[in-house]
Amino acid sequence: MSPDSYPDEAATLHLPAEELQALASRVFQHLGLSLPHAEAMARTVVAGQRDDCQSHGVYRILSCAQTIRAGKVALQVEPVLAPASGAVVRVDAGYGFSPLAFERALPALVETTRQHGIGALVIRHCFHFSALWPEVEAITAHGLAALALTPSHAWVAPAGGSRPVFGTNPIAFGWPRPSKHPFVFDFATSAIARGDLELHRRAGTPLPAGCGVDAQGRPSTDPVAVAQGAMLAFGGHKGSALSAMVELMAGALIGDWMSQESLAFDEGAGAIPCHGELVLAFDPARLGAGDLAAQQQQAERLFHAITGQGARLPSQRRFEARARSLQRGVAVPRALYAEILALAE
């Protein structure tokens, strides 16, 4: 869904991932973040850029900078991990950015999931700007399946309506595959992610049809008009219901804000959303009938039935981009690189 805004090789830099990581961390520290936050955030945005996820790659440094300027995010706060309670792991991000809270809680989530067969990680009070696939992928690296949900800001109208209620509310799922990249999907429940809408606005290109309505409720492909009106859920009433589920499960269920509350807290500052996240993990070795190899073979038959007819698995494009980035360096548009460098000055 990204606008094809970076096709020009002459306008693109290729940087080793380590160099981009060092730059992103330096910028975040210059903006006032503690070293652990800066490093965790840099890992997140560099992973997005490395995997050619333009709306959640290093472009996100600009929206994080805007969020910091808005003055609401805690820059030095240490996430507080509560003692494990049954299968539930809780971490309070203290109104800091989310990646450090996830990283700090991951070992406890893995341990509790191995113990109980299922684990729930509740992250509360975080500013959330990232894609969810890095999180579910990190969980699959431990041989566990994972599901992650989070609200955002109320930008999306329910099916049949024209006023924003839902966030762009992503859902990500990961399934571990021995000796292979995991099966991972991760998508907004809106027809287009807000990050991609912003990239269309920056590039001056229209949105695909069906992504939003203007302030009068008329269908529009103008990103500015849709930002003033409402985005639409993907798949009509089905995406709309999934989006409501995300609000409930990663908002009301965990006692944190939903997208309307996040937007109200923003008070027009244009900062990234502030709310919670729910991450569920499942241990196939504990939930199955005791033959893990058979379970894995069963899953592989499904994947083969997909790829065997020429269809691709989700994340295949991303993993191919990752391999290219590791070989040639991570592609970054020169103009974006200059904007990021300017933030370090």
CB of 53 to ligand NDP, least distance (A): 6
Nearer to ligand NDP, 320 or 339 (CB): 320
Q: Which region among 16-24, 188-196, 295-303, 317-325 touches ligand PYC (by CB under 6 A)?
A: 188-196
Tell me if 315 contacts ligand NDP by CB under 6 A.
Answer: yes
Distance CA 66, CA 149 (A): 24
The two three-digit tokens of residue 299, written as one number:
């899953």
Judge whether 196 counts as a catalytic residue.
yes
Please select the residue that binds ligand PYC; options are 119, 151, 176, 195, rule is CB under 6 A: 195
Which of 100, 115, 119 minimizes the C-alpha distance to 39?
100
Query: Which one from 25, 37, 51, 55 is the annotated catalytic residue?
Result: 55
How many residues sit close enough to ligand NDP to count as binding (CB under 6 A)? Answer: 28
Concatenating the DSSP letter of every residue in 156-201 gives EEPTT--S--B----EEEEE--TTSPPEEEEE-SBSS-HHHHHHHH
Tell me if 140 contacts ligand NDP by CB under 6 A.
Answer: no
Tell me if 97 contacts ligand NDP by CB under 6 A.
Answer: no
Query: What stretches of 238-303 adopt beta strand conformation (E)?
Result: 274-282
The 3-state DSSP class for residue 8 equals coil
Tell me if 24 contacts ligand NDP by CB under 6 A.
Answer: no
Tell me if 48 contacts ligand PYC by CB under 6 A.
Answer: no
Please select the residue that binds ligand NDP; options are 130, 140, 240, 325, rule is CB under 6 A: 130
Q: What is the largest CA-CA distance in the chain?
A: 58
Please select the residue that binds ligand NDP; options are 205, 292, 316, 344, rule is CB under 6 A: 316
The two three-digit tokens of residue 174, written as one number:
């990961």
296 touches 177 (CB < 8 A)? yes
The sheet that has 183-187: what strands, in order across it? Answer: 80-81, 88-97, 118-127, 274-282, 145-149, 171-175, 183-187
Tell me if 25 contacts ligand PYC by CB under 6 A.
Answer: no
What part of residues 261-320 is at the interface with ligand PYC (CB under 6 A)? 272-273
CB of 315 to ligand NDP, least distance (A): 4
Kindly report the number of other CB atoms within 10 A of residue 7's CB atom. 7
Please select the residue that binds ligand NDP; options are 185, 265, 282, 303, rule is CB under 6 A: 185
Active site residue ranges: 55-56, 196
Interacting residue ranges for ligand PYC, rule: CB under 6 A: 55, 129, 152, 168, 188, 193-195, 272-273
